[in-house]
Structure 1
Amino acid sequence: MGVPLSKEYNEYKNIAQHSSYSRDLIAPSLGACVPFLETVSHLSSENCCISYKLQSSCIGDRHFHASIQKKGLAAFLTVIDITHRKTNTICDIQTQNEIIPLPKKLLQYTDLQICNVVGLHYEWLVVQIFCQDGIKFLICDISTNTCLVQYTHKYVPQSKLKLYECHISPDRMFLVLKQNQLYQSLYNSNIEDGESVILLNIHLQIGTCTEEPCELLHSFISLALGRVAMTFDPRTDSDLIVYTSEMPDKLNREIYKGHIGLYKASRDSFLCTTGLLNQDFPALPGKFLNLQFLRDGSAIVLAVLGSVSPTRTISILCRNNFVTVYVLDPDCFQRTGSFSYVSHSQFQHFAPVISPSGTLACCAGKIYNIEHSRSQQNSVKSLKRLCYNVIVDFVLPEDIEHLPLPKSLKSYLR
């Protein structure tokens, strides 16, 4: 797994505050990585869907709304990127079968929409739609305005409606649908149906997915009481999942310890499990976990909401809002640094939103410049890396294809 590194972040030296939260901030001045600051007013507005408020890191810094419009025998999916003021119309979304949404009155006490955007993987957008025959998941390409894949998951008898989050493998062969942990705890805490994770194999040729057995993963998540965060490893063009969880100690069930390891989706097997020592990760166990890779795969970011033994006065006053962020080496899972902040709300948007370049992060309404170190690059950044950072932060993934660049450079930017 590699040799543990001794790199350590210092929140006063390597993490510098860039700017404060401001409604008057002009988004293009800071690039495509931070215009979510413009959506301040949406956080308290009825127009802000619950899927955005409780979004996972896969949606990142973009606020999407989706709706269905039916015209005769045709149905269109309209996707509005509120953050960047863009509208996409996806055609032919019911080529496989007719889409009949649930009556809105059935969702009036759930805080859910008929259409909920639950995932974003470069130019692929994943929309969850509540229909009469089941929950439909549409994978749409917002660069070509087409629906690539459609999958229907039948409702579980006597089960409440659920909100999922989505993770897509780098090779776009596997799709993981995981129940949104925040939504389940706040709105659906009494439901235990064993369907916390759905593993799907994507078939682009026929535009659908097939469900893969993952009994070992289901049993592991059940043992961890659903307190599991996961993401695909972007460094490998495969189905390798990095997960972290909080599980009770074998000797004392009242003591929870953090674990991180690797799971192979195609084989339904765990490759390794590494215990996170309490002295290295004092914020564990927390109320919720959020796990995300930097886009280039140089580091893993683990955000923990809440702390059992807060050490600062402000964290004692705002105990539920205290967030600790750990930066891990992806090869050995060694902690390379950490920093803390207090979130404005107990659950919504508690995790840091990291820019595509991995240099900027939004934490509780403030922009930080994170100078993360890499095992390959410990010296001054090259011109190639600086250009990469600027382009990926200012150009949206679906627009990279339209840049006047060779295909090799476009592949590098993705």
Structure 2
Amino acid sequence: MSAILEMTRQITNEVIAPMAAAVDAERRFPKESIEALGKAGLLGLLVPKELGGLGGDLTDLSAVTEIIAAACGSSAMCYLMHCCATAVVAAKATPDQAERYLKPIARGEKLGTLAFSETGTGAHFYSPEIKAVLEGDRFVLNGKKSFVTNGGEADFLIVITNASSPELGLDMIIVDTDAPGLRFEGEWEGIGLSGNNSIALHLEQVKVPATQLVGAEGDGMGLVFQVVAPTFILGVAGVNAGIARGAYETALRHAKARKYADGRSLAEIQAIQFYLSDMFGGVESASLFVRNAAAKAVRGDGDAILHVMQSKVLASEQAIRVTNLAMQVCGGQGYTKALPVERYLRDARAGAVMAPTTEVLKEWVGKSVAGVPLF
């Protein structure tokens, strides 16, 4: 793991951090970041070693996303959604799927993402309206997905649909983005994570070979909760811990460098010291909780799911709290683009409203610890 993290830090320092302000200001996809991560093999973080990948696990993922997000939240989210798509394929890959997707991912040649959200279902992405209609040896897909990160840039999508027979439940299907009838539409207009290119996807009579099904028909719901949920939740918790860390480190540097006329630094003011202490504690508590939750998930501990869910709640709330404190420390400079604090503050707001939202997770955790059925 140490080698993976050191490689991530090097790429972040040399490529991702220098491009972060431009990605945000120009609201463009962080192509340089993704290419650098791919060249280093990090797009294959969750690809098994025997297929050329790094063979990483959820502890690696949460740590890597934290490092990237401390420099650029947009790059971290684009990377995370690719890793979620990779995890789905890797969970039940056929030899053909491994050859067509996992090996190229490991070489940095393919970028993936999830196509889960729909306007009509909101945060309940596990209840799609789209149905996979089986015609001979092909599925035919019609409908619309929203908030597809990496939209227009990904090479393949994991599309969640209702199975061809209602009693089977859900399917996950690998769809190449060059398939006839598939198109992306719109622009990402969110206040933060400006480069993640989260846009709408239209599927009009898109025909996909049945061999692109992940697992068997009806395996979709199991993949949602056993693969996608822990991968996304721990990854996005890492992202938010990273955003908080980036804001704290920026505020700390500013407080030490900013001098008053009498020679004192901003960091010598007691109120600022209180803020720095609060930020330090918030960042470390979020980061350590996320790491612990990821380790529990990897070990398969009985209480792992509670810690996984709570990790997103804690990291999202600390990201908001720490970026607000960083703004107070940096004052007028923080309120402008002279410092990246305002970018961190905008990026931090996304975590709480990403499905599963903070409120949904708190309900699930609360019911679980109280012994109340979730549904």
Q: Same fold (TM over 0.5)?
A: no
What TM-score does the superposition give when structure 1 sets the normalisation length? Answer: 0.24
Higher helix share: 2
Structure with the bigger RCO (C-alpha within 8 Å, sep 6+) is 2
Task: Calculate the TM-score normalised by the size of structure 2.
Answer: 0.26
